[in-house]
Amino acid sequence: MKIGMIGLGRMGGNIARRLMRAGHEVVAFDRSADAVEALTRDGADAATSLEDMRVKLATPAIWWVMLPAGEATESTVFQIAEDAAEGEIIIDGGNSFWKDDVRRAIALREKGVAYVDVGTSGGVWGLERGYCMMIGGDDAVVRHLDPIFDTLAPGTGDIVRTPGRVAERADPRAEKGYIHAGPTGAGHFVKMVHNGIEYGLMQAYAEGFDILAKRASEHLVPEERFDINLTDVAEVWRRGSVISSWLLDLTAIALAEDEKLGRFSGHVADSGEGQWTIDAAMEEAVPVHVLSSALFARYRSRVDHTFGDKLLSAMRFGFGGHTEIPQ
Amino acid sequence: MKIGMIGLGRMGGNIARRLMRAGHEVVAFDRSADAVEALTRDGADAATSLEDMRVKLATPAIWWVMLPAGEATESTVFQIAEDAAEGEIIIDGGNSFWKDDVRRAIALREKGVAYVDVGTSGGVWGLERGYCMMIGGDDAVVRHLDPIFDTLAPGTGDIVRTPGRVAERADPRAEKGYIHAGPTGAGHFVKMVHNGIEYGLMQAYAEGFDILAKRASEHLVPEERFDINLTDVAEVWRRGSVISSWLLDLTAIALAEDEKLGRFSGHVADSGEGQWTIDAAMEEAVPVHVLSSALFARYRSRVDHTFGDKLLSAMRFGFGGHTEIPQ
Amino acid sequence: MKIGMIGLGRMGGNIARRLMRAGHEVVAFDRSADAVEALTRDGADAATSLEDMRVKLATPAIWWVMLPAGEATESTVFQIAEDAAEGEIIIDGGNSFWKDDVRRAIALREKGVAYVDVGTSGGVWGLERGYCMMIGGDDAVVRHLDPIFDTLAPGTGDIVRTPGRVAERADPRAEKGYIHAGPTGAGHFVKMVHNGIEYGLMQAYAEGFDILAKRASEHLVPEERFDINLTDVAEVWRRGSVISSWLLDLTAIALAEDEKLGRFSGHVADSGEGQWTIDAAMEEAVPVHVLSSALFARYRSRVDHTFGDKLLSAMRFGFGGHTEIPQ
Amino acid sequence: MKIGMIGLGRMGGNIARRLMRAGHEVVAFDRSADAVEALTRDGADAATSLEDMRVKLATPAIWWVMLPAGEATESTVFQIAEDAAEGEIIIDGGNSFWKDDVRRAIALREKGVAYVDVGTSGGVWGLERGYCMMIGGDDAVVRHLDPIFDTLAPGTGDIVRTPGRVAERADPRAEKGYIHAGPTGAGHFVKMVHNGIEYGLMQAYAEGFDILAKRASEHLVPEERFDINLTDVAEVWRRGSVISSWLLDLTAIALAEDEKLGRFSGHVADSGEGQWTIDAAMEEAVPVHVLSSALFARYRSRVDHTFGDKLLSAMRFGFGGHTEIPQ
């Protein structure tokens, strides 16, 4: 198929490359002429603007918007939609808030333009491993785009089949690495929850390794103090333990490089998806102690002290005359 | 009554003073001769050692140990017990771990020495306001000490009586500000839970004021940004709101002095009781998300970054090529 | 002053009564004719509709809307605004979401109609004790309404003044029990955080009493098992302890009536404010482990089991062959 | 090597089988004669008692105790030690508390008996996949037992090597699936943290799937409601997503069998290791919001309502006249 790729960052560029390697045609656009140039060398047709891209695409055009969520994606989607002919398809492959998808799809439907949201996991490894995709949109449109998704997905590969998975009842696309999760918004919703879980998993490992690391502390009595080799622990847990995972593989790689992780400041960013996951849970009255704690740990990592910490000290001084002395 | 007070710090000294003001006799001992001297000026009989104190106490002697929990209390209790005659009473008024009480009481019982644990709340305000006490020990012994506890407690004062409290069913001592909570250990157990709750209450206020304080952040859009006067908020909540409390009174005092709380570093200490409360909850399989979170917030306040934070960044770099930039 | 009160439920009716007792005039309207009739007996002027109310109010009219947040308040505010003359004032005294206030105020400003949001704490006790109020709106409008707020507030009463509170620097209204928190929305924002804190405080007490209650469990070894009188514990903590508060007073009342709390099912509702507090915190990147945990505990209280619980068992069966047996 | 296996349950029996398949000799004992008989059919030499086992073992004897943690393990270890000759080795392969290991090792050292703690992960899959082992003890003793551990471990297999792992710096045993974690206790310590992490990971998935499951709730407005196929979601996340893991594989299997997980009651047990992990963290002042929340969720799953829930309702009734109505 022929597809217009807007946004050639780490994700967009590699998605385009994986498509072209499989024989799809890509018309490419980015604010950065260098990024366009680089992709042209890999076989893409360069576009100098969205108007130029439309000329170069087939009719009706298929657009893949791969831009930062929020203003950039919003304005681009509506700019494309403004001149769009009936039957065109706009795919938002970024990390948009799923309610934005719902709103946009309704707005575009009036013009006969289809909107498809694709939550994409796989990061920098996707070009080689393939992308895990969660897709929302009208059934017919998603089916029409199947050649695209089939190319981008990892395929069944050598991952062991899930015992008990019955072909008739189960969507075969899931085993290839993509699903049609539901109507518009459902793709990004599932991807959002994926990221919410990701935060929780990461924080579980982080807390566990923290306990191991601080076991060497001199505050502990000698017979309860251990100087544990974290690199070897990460490695051994990859091998037959209940907590083996890809995130643990990444942990093992990072520790093997530097067990002190000295290049990292300890400030941890969060994209919006952790927050949206908590919002979704609250809408449903689902208790999410772990997912929220994981998000809050990141907030906390980015400040030296909270005002609340100081207030605790102020109260302690008030009732007990305690004066806090930094350790 | 006549009582030997060992440990004349902020708590011990004022407890002795409150006792003497009501006509009780106090023999006083402390490692610091200055502390003994100061209390002597307020009417105490000075002791130069535990042996000296025994000579100066009535028979059988009543000892009030008011020392830091752990080694100091432990060694003093057993040193007293070594030479104790049958019928002597050792009161531990500090913040001992309740299982230490249970163990000590069993050991002392063989010698005919009674052990009473008194959890004491009231801090630096106790001299004037009286001490709220939670007492563990044998019924007869606690009854024998009633004149002491009755003096130290705040008394009914002008605190409104709890409607529906029926005299026959309810222990009148509770309304005066002390209870016999149960057998040895029960006093410190109830006091421990008191402190666990205290941590939770404090953290609830801390988080709430944090939200108010950060509402002035420039990251927010102007119409959703408020520059809220925290001092006035604390004051107004003292007056008819559902969340009025003594801790809020203390918050109002601290903010009235300096709304920025600039004298506090943000490092918040914890005594053992928060931790023991979580231990007790886990023994009972009681979920304590709030009490534990309050404790962990204090741990977190005392380090710049955790190793876990760095591990999060390392994983993020691993799957997404993200590099964390301190803000 | 003369004020139109719309919504004569538990809160609205008593607010009207407290106003009338102080000499203010109230025109009253409610869907329920009985409620209007009851208030008329206490001195109110009955209105049969909003149109009728406008006729009976002074010019420009002052409206106090005291209805459930959401659709009821929204439609009433805009219905009043539709026919409003310049200079009229609409007060929303309910529990509206503060961003709804911001939006409404902007919409009404175009018509010259002022909008004031009043967050009110005090519950069923407000008629006698007065209401603690947090107010958002234009400064001149809030000043104009001062006689109303001054009447509704508790006044300084016999609550001890905060030491260090300097009259010149501090708003005297706070000591009377109301504050002008900021522009429109700020009133409900501060009230929302108040409720968020309230959830946290309540959960801290709940967890603490849970630990005390379960200490009598037969699973524990006899010397570590205590049968603690919770009624007396609540009572004693009211007297000189660090954790005394109004919520603790209410706890003492409830336990004095029935230590088993047998009339309560254990299902705990939440109004929107706990959720909105978490939202506000996430907008500001403030970690709120305690406030969120308190909210989630209520969610959890309302279901027998979560799907997540079953998934845990399914995983346990998967790796360990464990079969969960209900206890 | 020749080894005495005491305890032939799910774990002990299969460990013995894996050893025998590789040519090691096993003398087997269990309270259940049937269990002994079954293992004899697979090649073990039956022992009728510990005394009988000693006779049948080589000198000095090597004992592998695979019993429930606590009393069973404790009494067996000391019973063996009582008659042990110098140089004998007792391995505790169960889930003992690591401080019990420290204590036992000290006691046994006086008799010249070595104690080795082996934390074992792998569950019912270990016979075929091999066991991931974390070992504590004296270096020479652990080296002596290497043939045993080498057999039980999974071996390098086809798991991708960790890039950057440098042979000289890194213990080659980790890549085979076992580590010598440190002195006595360190093995069970690392295994304990492993289980703590496991609880956190499981709860993260549980909460995420809960959010997906409840998205079909009728309380939500239609355009924000999704009926998501959880089975396909679990499957697709196994393929190229950041959160792929063995626990997710197990989730996919369970959902493929029954997406409702109807055979599970929702009561979730916990072994002691989650609790001990929190204890260890508190000893080190490490904040562990996620690991503790995961544990508390299990506690909560096993009761219908907490006393604390009722207390919340009692307070709500107290200040607001709210009466909770079960939903």
- A235 belongs to the catalytic site: no
The chain C residue lying nearest A282, using CA atoms, is: C275
Q: C282 to chain A: which residues are within 8 Å by CB? A: 275, 278-279, 295
Of B217, B256, B290, the CB nearest to C290: B290
pLDDT tens by residue, D73-132: 999 999 999 999 999 999 999 999 999 999 999 999 999 999 999 999 987 788 999 999
Residue type, D1: M
More confident: C10 or C98: C98
Least confident of B33-37, C157-161, C234-238, C286-290: C157-161
Cα–Cα distance for residue pair C296/B73, rounded to 1 Å: 41
DSSP state at residue A245: B
- D211:A277 CB<8 A: yes
For chain B, residues classed under CATH 1.10.1040.10 are 191-307
Interface check for B150 against chain C (CB to CB < 8 A): the answer is no
Interface check for D278 against chain B (CB to CB < 8 A): the answer is yes
Residue D147 preceded by cis peptide, ω within 30? no
| Total beta-carbon pairs less than 8 A apart between chain B and chain D | 45
- The pLDDT of B283-307, averaged and rounded, is 97
Give CA angle at C237 (C231, C243), nearest 5°: 130
Residue pair D181/A228 in contact (Cβ under 8 Å)? The answer is yes
Task: Tell me what pLDDT residue A164 has.
Answer: 86
Residue type, B264: F
Question: Alpha carbon of C162 to those of B174, B235, C151, D225: distances in Å?
Answer: 28, 8, 22, 51
Interface check for A292 against chain C (CB to CB < 8 A): the answer is yes
- The pLDDT of B46-70, averaged and rounded, is 96
Question: How far is residue B131 CA from its own chain's centroid?
Answer: 11
Q: Which alpha helices (H) appear in chain B, and where do they start and end? A: 10-21, 33-41, 50-56, 71-82, 98-109, 126-129, 139-144, 146-152, 172-176, 186-213, 230-237, 246-257, 272-284, 289-301, 307-320
Interface check for B299 against chain C (CB to CB < 8 A): the answer is no
In angstroms, how far apart are the furthest CA atoms of chain B? 76
Q: A269 to chain B: which residues are within 8 Å by CB? A: 316, 322, 324
Q: B297 to chain D: which residues are within 8 Å by CB? A: 287
Which chains contact D through at least 3 pairs of Cβ atoms less than 8 Å apart?
Answer: A, B, C
Which secondary structure element, helix H or strand E, spans residue A102, and what is its range? Answer: helix A98-109
ipTM above 0.90, yes or no: yes
* Low-confidence residues of chain A: pLDDT under 50: 326-327
Of B242, B299, B302, the CB nearest to D319: B242
Q: How far is B280 from chain D (nearest CA, A)?
A: 11
Question: A318 — phi, psi (to 5°)?
Answer: -65, -45
Residue pair A117/A96 in contact (Cβ under 8 Å)? The answer is yes
The chain C residue lying nearest A269, using CA atoms, is: C285
Query: For the sheet containing D62-65, what is the strand order?
Result: D45-46, D25-29, D2-6, D62-65, D89-92, D114-121, D132-136, D178-182
- A315:B207 CB<8 A: no
Interface check for C253 against chain B (CB to CB < 8 A): the answer is yes
Task: Tell me what pLDDT residue A122 has.
Answer: 81
pLDDT tens by residue, C64-117: 999 999 999 999 999 999 999 999 999 999 999 999 999 999 999 999 999 999
- The pLDDT of B254-279, averaged and rounded, is 95
Report the candidate in A65, A60, A102, A101 with the shortest Cα–Cα distance to residue A84: A60
- The pLDDT of B238-247, averaged and rounded, is 95
| Total beta-carbon pairs less than 8 A apart between chain A and chain B | 202
Q: C264 to chain D: which residues are within 8 Å by CB? A: 309-310, 313-314, 317, 324
**Which residues does B295 contact at the CB level (< 8 Å), separation at least 6?**
B199, B270, B274, B275, B277, B278, D282
Cα–Cα distance for residue pair C43/C27, rounded to 1 Å: 9
Retrieve residue C142's tokens: 């809030």
Task: Tell me what pLDDT residue A326 has.
Answer: 46
Cα–Cα distance for residue pair D84/D90, rounded to 1 Å: 10
- A124:B315 CB<8 A: no
Residue B27: strand, helix, or coil: strand
Retrieve residue A204's tokens: 């579980």
Query: For the sheet containing C178-182, what is the strand order?
Result: C45-46, C25-29, C2-6, C62-65, C89-92, C114-121, C132-136, C178-182
Task: Tell me what pLDDT residue B327 has.
Answer: 38
Cα–Cα distance for residue pair C181/C281, rounded to 1 Å: 18
Q: How far is C194 from chain B (nearest CA, A)?
A: 7
Residue D172 preceded by cis peptide, ω within 30? no
Q: How far is B7 from chain A (nearest CA, A)?
A: 17
For chain A, residues classed under CATH 3.40.50.720 are 2-182
The total number of residues written for chain D in this structure? 327
Report the candidate in D11, D43, D14 with the shortest Cα–Cα distance to residue D27: D43
**Residues of chain B with pLDDT > 90: what percent?**
91
- D299:B285 CB<8 A: yes
Q: If you average pLDDT over every residue of chain C, what do you get?
A: 95
Q: A261 to chain B: which residues are within 8 Å by CB? A: 307, 310-311, 313-314
Residue C134: strand, helix, or coil: strand
Task: Tell me what pLDDT residue A320 has.
Answer: 84
Question: B314 — phi, psi (to 5°)?
Answer: -65, -40
Q: How far is C323 from chain D (nearest CA, A)?
A: 8
Range 81-140 of D in CB contact (< 8 A) with A: 99, 102, 106, 121-123, 125-126, 129-134
Task: Tell me what pLDDT residue C326 has.
Answer: 46
Q: Which residue has the tokens 């004066």?
A: A323
Q: Three-state SS across chain D?
A: CEEEEECCCHHHHHHHHHHHHCCCEEEEECCCHHHHHHHHHCCCEECCCHHHHHHHCCCCCEEEECCCCCHHHHHHHHHHHHCCCCCCEEEECCCCCHHHHHHHHHHHHCCCCEEEEEEEECHHHHHHHCCEEEEECCHHHHHHCHHHHHHHCCCCCCCCCCCCCCCCCCCHHHHHCEEEEECCCHHHHHHHHHHHHHHHHHHHHHHHHHHHHHHHCCCCCHHHCCCCCHHHHHHHHCCCCCCCEHHHHHHHHHHHHCCCCCCCCCCCCCCHHHHHHHHHHHHHCCCCHHHHHHHHHHHHHCCCCCHHHHHHHHHHHHHHCCCCCCC
Q: C287 to chain A: which residues are within 8 Å by CB? A: 296-297, 299-300, 306
Of C131, C235, C241, the CB nearest to B121: C241
- The pLDDT of B147-174, averaged and rounded, is 90
Task: Tell me what pLDDT residue D323 has.
Answer: 64
- The pLDDT of C53-73, averaged and rounded, is 96
Interface check for B288 against chain A (CB to CB < 8 A): the answer is no
Query: For the sheet containing B25-29, what is the strand order?
Result: B45-46, B25-29, B2-6, B62-65, B89-92, B114-121, B132-136, B178-182
Residue B318: strand, helix, or coil: helix
- C253:B200 CB<8 A: no
Which secondary structure element, helix H or strand E, spans residue C109, and what is its range? Answer: helix C98-109
Q: D224 to chain A: which residues are within 8 Å by CB? A: 99, 102, 185, 283
Cα–Cα distance for residue pair D82/C235, rounded to 1 Å: 55
**Residues of chain D with pLDDT > 70: what percent?**
97
Beta bridge partners of B134: B119, B179
Q: How far is B209 from chain A (nearest CA, A)?
A: 7
Q: B132 to chain C: which residues are within 8 Å by CB? A: 236-237, 239-241
Which secondary structure element, helix H or strand E, spans residue B28, and what is its range? Answer: strand B25-29
Question: From the CB of residue A193, how many other CB atoms can be counted at a distance below 10 Å?
Answer: 30
Which of B162, B203, B292, B311 is most worth mutating to test chain D (most D CB atoms within 10 A of its CB)? B292
- D99 belongs to the catalytic site: no
- A319:B251 CB<8 A: no
Distance linking the first and last C-alpha atoms of chain B: 63
Task: Tell me what pLDDT residue A327 has.
Answer: 38
Interface check for B287 against chain A (CB to CB < 8 A): the answer is no
Residue pair A70/A83 in contact (Cβ under 8 Å)? The answer is no
Question: From the CB of residue C275, how many other CB atoms can be counted at a distance below 10 Å?
Answer: 22
Report the candidate in A87, A104, A92, A218 with the shortest Cα–Cα distance to residue A144: A87
**Residues of chain C with pLDDT > 70: what percent?**
97
CA neighbours within 13 Å on the CB side: how many for B78?
11
Considering only CA atoms, give the Rg of chain B: 24
- D289:B279 CB<8 A: no
Task: Tell me what pLDDT residue C327 has.
Answer: 38
Q: What architecture is the B191-307 domain classified under in CATH? A: Orthogonal Bundle (1.10)
Task: Tell me what pLDDT residue C324 has.
Answer: 58
Report, as residue numbers or ranges, the catalytic residues of B. Answer: 191, 198
pLDDT tens by residue, D16-52: 999 999 999 999 999 999 999 999 999 999 999 999 9
Cα–Cα distance for residue pair D154/D127, rounded to 1 Å: 9
Residue B19: strand, helix, or coil: helix
Cα–Cα distance for residue pair C3/C28, rounded to 1 Å: 9
Interface check for B319 against chain D (CB to CB < 8 A): the answer is yes
- C312:D206 CB<8 A: yes
Q: Does the pLDDT of residue C322 top 90, yes or no?
A: no
Task: Tell me what pLDDT residue D124 has.
Answer: 79
Interface check for D230 against chain B (CB to CB < 8 A): the answer is no
Residue pair A312/B203 in contact (Cβ under 8 Å)? The answer is yes
Which secondary structure element, helix H or strand E, spans residue C3, and what is its range? Answer: strand C2-6
**CATH value of C2-182 in 1.10.3720.10, 3.30.465.10, 1.10.599.10, 3.40.50.720:** 3.40.50.720
Task: Tell me what pLDDT residue B123 has.
Answer: 75
Of C207, C261, C327, the CB nearest to D302: C327
Residue A121: strand, helix, or coil: strand
C153-160: Cβ within 8 A, 24+ apart: C153/B239, C153/B240, C153/C177, C153/C178, C154/B239, C154/B240, C154/C122, C154/C129, C154/C130, C155/C130, C156/B239, C157/B239, C157/C130, C159/B238, C159/B239, C160/B249
